[in-house]
Amino acid sequence: MRLMIALLALILSAPAFGQSALPPAPWADRQIPDPAQEKEARDLMLTIRCLTCQSQSIADSNASMAGDMRSQIRERIMAGEEPEHIRRWLIERYGDWVSYEPTGDPILWPLWAAPAVLLALGALLLRGRLKRRTR
C-alpha cells in the first residue's frame, strides 16, 4: 500500500526538469500560412541537427532550443530569406556538424563516389556472369 502511494505521488509530482518554463516561441509549432514557404522551412528543419537532442533534427525534437530554432527559421523564411542562406549562417556558427546535408568537402568524396564504384563493380560482375554463360 505504501509503495502504491509512493508511486502515485511520483506520478502526480511535477518533474523538476532543467527546462525553461517559458512557452514555446511563436512559430516553433505553428505552420506558415503560405504552404510553399512552410514546405521550404520544413525541408530545412528536417536537415538541421538539434543541439540538445543530438541525433534528432530540430523538426523532430521537443527541446526548447530546437523550438526556438524552428521559430527563427520560419520567421526568416517569411521575411524572404533563402533556406540555403540560413543553413550557411548556422554552419558559420556551429560548423558542418549542425547540417545533415552532406557537403562537397574532400573528406566526403568517398561517400559521393560510393554509388559509382558500386555500380561499376556490379557491371563487372554481371559481365563476368554473362561471358561465362555464352561460353
Name the residues that contact another protein, by CB under 8 A. Answer: 18-22, 25, 51-52, 54, 64-65, 68-69, 71-72, 90-95, 97-98
Nearer to another protein, 92 or 105 (CB): 92
Kindly state the smallest distance separating residue 3's Cβ from another protein, in Å.
Answer: 29
Nearer to another protein, 5 or 15 (CB): 15
**H-helix segments, the chain:** 2-12, 35-45, 64-78, 83-94, 109-134
Kindly state the smallest distance separating residue 121's Cβ from another protein, in Å.
Answer: 11
Please report, in angstroms and rounded to a whole number, the separation of the first and last CA atoms in the chain: 82
C-alpha cell at 18: 532543467
Nearer to another protein, 7 or 108 (CB): 108
Kindly state the smallest distance separating residue 99's Cβ from another protein, in Å.
Answer: 12
Please tell me the distance from the alpha carbon of residue 116 to that of residue 50, in angstroms, as a whole number: 32
Is residue 24 within 8 A of residue 71, CB to CB? The reply is yes
